[in-house]
Amino acid sequence: MTENLFARLGVYQDDSACSAAMNMAIDEALLEYATFPSIRFYRWHCPALSFGYFGRFSDVADHASARDVVRRWTGGGIVFHGDDLTYSIVIPVSDAVCNESSMSLYEKIHRALVNAFNGIGKRAVVAGGVDFRGIAAAMRTAVSASGYNCFANPVRADVMIDSRKIAGSAQRRTRRGLLQQGSIQGVELENGLAERFAEELSTNCEPRSLPKAVHCRAREIAARKYATDAWLRKR
């Protein structure tokens, strides 16, 4: 059951809007410090654009004057941020759930989001149903593609409402665990959606504040990585 995916889940409601570089850095720092699974919901201090690790800067360069542009650590295509609800899920390698395949976790997390939408009266579905081979192909496409708009190009296991993509995500797996970053947009984001999503992932949610150590580490990561021109123009 999706509501039991995690036995325990830390929930971070990050109400202080951050720069694109800092948002990415906090997600990475959370993975470094994680001792149990967590979900972080966050906003952006100005209109932003994130693009996947394997993307080409030339595909987003025209937006750099109007948006805070950042290269993600995760894969996938171009995502516009500002009015969306962005989240990250961190699963440390010490947690048994991390042993599940990336494909399985991708689908289960999105199914939990679908349940949350259905709980507030939105008829959401996971695109294509449960087909792990199909999800694998979609994820390979997301990793290799560079210039496509994620929300204009739904793939299998994305979250759909009325045949329109409203949520997608991308992953990064390291020796420390797994990071999944996702964006929910193009739909009303009120009615306690974030809280319902977290509760669909675990019946044992623990509201938490970002530790000072995570903030400090994130500032270091942002300064040496996400905020640098070398990282932005990596490809």
Catalytic residue (choose from 18, 98, 150, 205) = 150
For residue 73, is pLDDT > 60? yes
* Residue 216: C-alpha distances to residues 29, 31, 92, 123 (Å): 9, 14, 20, 41
User: Which pLDDT does position 221 carry in this prediction?
Assistant: 98
User: Long-range contacts made by residues 149-152, C-beta under 8 angstroms, separation at least 24?
Assistant: 149/77, 149/78, 149/79, 149/80, 150/76, 150/77, 150/78, 150/79, 150/183, 151/79, 151/80, 151/183, 151/185, 151/186
CATH number of this structure's domain 2-100+170-232: 3.30.930.10
Q: Is 150 annotated as catalytic?
A: yes
- Which stretch of DSSP H or E encloses residue 134? helix 132-144
User: Which pLDDT does position 154 carry in this prediction?
Assistant: 62
Residue ranges covered by each domain of the chain = 2-100+170-232
- Which stretch of DSSP H or E encloses residue 135? helix 132-144
User: pLDDT-derived band of residue 22, with 50, 70 and 90 as boundaries?
Assistant: very high
User: pLDDT-derived band of residue 190, with 50, 70 and 90 as boundaries?
Assistant: confident
For residue 199, is pLDDT > 70? yes
Mean pLDDT of 157-184: 93
One-letter amino acid at 223 equals A
User: pLDDT-derived band of residue 189, with 50, 70 and 90 as boundaries?
Assistant: confident
Give tens-digit pLDDT for 94-152: 999 999 999 899 999 999 999 999 998 889 999 875 444 444 444 444 444 445 566 65
Mean residue pLDDT across the chain? 89
User: pLDDT-derived band of residue 14, with 50, 70 and 90 as boundaries?
Assistant: confident
Separation of alpha carbons 173 and 193, rounded Å: 27
For residue 66, is pLDDT > 90? yes
User: pLDDT-derived band of residue 158, with 50, 70 and 90 as boundaries?
Assistant: confident
For residue 204, is pLDDT > 80? yes
